[in-house]
Amino acid sequence: MKKHNFNAGPSILPREVIEKTAEAVLDFNGSGLSVLEISHRAKDFQPVVDEAVALFKELLNIPEGYSVVFLGGGASLQFCMVPYNLLEKKAAYLNTGTWSKKAMKEAKGFGEVIEVASSADANFNYIPKDYVIPTDADYFHITSNNTIFGTEILKDIDSPRPVIADMSSDIFSRTIDVSKYGLIYGGAQKNLAPAGLAFAIVKNELLGKVSRYIPTMLNYQTHIDNGSMFNTPPVLPIYSALQTLRWLKGIGGVPEMEKRNIAKAELLYNEIDRNKLFVGTAAKEDRSRMNVCFVMNEEYKDLEPDFLKFATERGMVGIKGHRSVGGFRASIYNAMDISSVQALIDCMQEFEKLH
């Protein structure tokens, strides 16, 4: 039976990326060696990093003055690296859920943290709109897509201070104007590559302004100056990332990806809104195109375990909701084909007929 992978992360990757990665594990570029057993400084591997950086720049239209680096430590290490490198006195954060809170917690170790707004009052089911970004903040931090609560900031924010965005779960899912950001970071394991890799797109002029000592490995400048090769980078995830970026370019780049993502999300949300059994948890105007959260309507609440079983038996994987929301979460990342979304919808409709 075909499995439809709705896992939130690590999550679905394009089949072709997995196959190309598997081939390189067995034989890297016909070298007779595995990608796992060559030096990252081998003349063969440098082009992998170079092409991955070049494709990042091309696919996201990254302007001059920004650097792309590959790092270890996941997005969670970025929660600390961002303030380490950029917070001198005060930073502003928009609190849209679990990941924002974790980012704020780390920043508090480096300076004053202003929470400009929060949607905690409604279990983070919306994106706050009315807030003021302090003009004396070193930066303004957002989580563009809230993987757990299924809300997303779909418009680039106009801010008087550099916007720092955690785009772990929506990078490359829609066109963005990178010039409106000071730094964009994320873990790779949602839309890009296997776990073990993080990326950062850094506006160079923001660096070098804080007065503290920054440990070498936590200093963005180190990784920029050394082309992500200061120490041994996560070689295999970078190799996979390159395959994903090539795949993305091949299908028509980010604008085409965005079109497909809009179509998938609309299809699924329309069914949630139509089907008498289900109800979406996120405010309609803030619905994520990547993580679709829904529960069963009050009168059918008892059927949640039954639906989970029903859908699992039909090949749906990973649709159980996060414990902080309950119900269901279908993560429909870039690599997911619309036919898998349709398969889930078929389950929802069949299940509706039974009740």
Ligand X SMILES: *Cc1c(COP(=O)(O)O)cnc(C)c1O
Does 166 bind ligand X (CB under 6 A)? Our answer is yes
> CA 209 to CA 106: how far, in whole Å?
19
Q: Position 40: which residue type? A: H
Span 64-123, contacts to ligand X by CB under 6 A: 74-76, 99
> Which residue has 């660096």 as its token pair?
207
| DSSP SS3 for 206 | helix
Q: Position 52: which residue type? A: A
Closer by beta carbon to ligand X, 123 or else 297: 123
Annotated active-site residue 190? The verdict is yes
Concatenating the DSSP letter of every residue in 310-335 gives HHHHTTEES-BPPTTT-SEEEE--TT
Binding segment (CB under 6 A) for ligand X, from list 62-70, 105-113, 164-172, 262-270:
164-172
Tell me the closest approach of the beta carbon of residue 291 to ligand X, in angstroms.
8
Other C-beta atoms within 10 Å of 133: how many?
Answer: 18
Closer by beta carbon to ligand X, 67 or else 151: 151
The DSSP H or E segment spanning 213 is none
Structure tokens at 304: 């949640």
Residue from 147, 261, 331, 334 binding ligand X (CB under 6 A): 147
Closer by beta carbon to ligand X, 45 or else 149: 149
Residue from 143, 240, 244, 334 binding ligand X (CB under 6 A): 143
Does 234 bind ligand X (CB under 6 A)? Our answer is no
Closer by beta carbon to ligand X, 168 or else 340: 168
Structure tokens at 117: 């707004």
Assess contact for 137 and 87: CB atoms under 8 A. no
Does 330 bind ligand X (CB under 6 A)? Our answer is no
Residue from 169, 240, 261, 334 binding ligand X (CB under 6 A): 169
Backbone angles phi, psi at 37, to 5 degrees: -125, 20
Site size toward ligand X, by CB under 6 A: 12
Tell me the closest approach of the beta carbon of residue 9 to ligand X, in angstroms.
5
Closer by beta carbon to ligand X, 206 or else 290: 290
Binding segment (CB under 6 A) for ligand X, from list 54-62, 163-171, 258-266, 318-326:
163-171
Catalytic residue among 20, 190, 203, 320: 190
Helix axes of 338-353 and 304-313: crossing angle, nearest 10 degrees: 130
DSSP code, position 152: E
Catalytic residue among 20, 138, 166, 320: 166
Catalytic residue among 20, 99, 170, 264: 99
- In the chain, alpha helices (H): 15-26, 46-59, 74-86, 98-107, 220-225, 235-251, 253-274, 304-313, 338-353
Residue from 96, 168, 240, 331 binding ligand X (CB under 6 A): 168
- SS3 string, 161-204, reads CCEEEECCCCCCCCCCCHHHEEEEEEECCCCCCCCCCEEEEEEH
Does 194 bind ligand X (CB under 6 A)? Our answer is no
Binding segment (CB under 6 A) for ligand X, from list 86-94, 161-169, 309-317, 340-348:
161-169
Residue positions annotated with a catalytic role: 99, 166, 190
Residues that bind ligand X (CB under 6 A): 9, 74-76, 99, 143, 147, 166, 168-169, 187, 190
